[in-house]
Amino acid sequence: GQGVDEPLSATGFRQADAAGLFLSNVKFTHVFSSDLLRAKQTAAAILGKNKFCKDLEVKYDARLRERKYGVAEGKPLAELKAMAKKAGEQCPSFTPSGGETLDEVRERARDFFEFLCQLAVGLEQKEPGMPGASSRSSGTSAEQFVFPWTNHCGEAEPSSENAGSSRMLDANILVVSHGAYMRNWIGYLVSDLSCALPANLSKSQLSSVSPNTGVSHFVVKLENGNLSKPEITCVCLNQDSHL
């Protein structure tokens, strides 16, 4: 939850370092993180291992916080399940007293996603006709965006499209958040925005909570700066091979 702002454990730091090594060749243009300590430390560990972005400023945003669990915060998951059972409900749809509903979490996710889209459109308009302009990047797209899980042959690989200006990304954004929040965000992308999913993804995988430092990769296209109809493709979901 939000109320117990504990640091990462020793295991958490090892996992964050492993994620950093896994992402070390990916050149990010922006980094956003929840303002809770465990997410801040994870973001710092990832950037600390990165070959390109060690000095990139992390923007902390309360909209990326974990779901608020009210009276259940700081207690074992078994107690939350017991509260839900007593109320005749099931997790995760159950909302403890003082907690956030799933709709409230999704609204936070929607608000932040729209903010990211506006950011990307603003970059494109600032430098028209120059995606990935020199102020944000250098060299070829192959050097900038090395995604370790796509092998540069997937349908959603950003650099696999037409040669020329479309080869380079306007923004390549790292977002560090939390399990229950991200499950709701992904649900929003799929159910509300018709995100295209990998063919081999099962329903149980789609509804599961990401493992610690699990990596999900989404490609978002905003044709002609149209914020109302983003085209979203999920390249991978909760990738944890680095663990």
Contacts of residue 63, Cβ cutoff 8 Å, sequence gap at least 6: 108, 109, 111, 112, 115
Task: Establish whether 38 is an annotated binding residue.
Answer: yes
Q: Is 181 annotated as a binding residue?
A: no
Distance CA 207, CA 91 (A): 12
Which residues 6+ apart lie within 8 Å of 228 measured at CB? Answer: none
Identity of the amino acid at 225: G
Residue 89 known to bind ligand: no
Q: Is 69 annotated as a binding residue?
A: yes
Q: What angle do CA 75, 76, 80 make, to 5 degrees?
A: 85
Strands 173-176 and 30-33: parallel
User: Is the four-CA dihedral 71, 76, 77, 80 of positive or negative sign?
Assistant: negative
Does the annotation list 60 as a binding residue? Answer: no
Q: Which residues are annotated as part of the binding site?
A: 38, 66-69
Q: Which residues are annotated as part of the binding site for substrate?
A: 38, 66-69
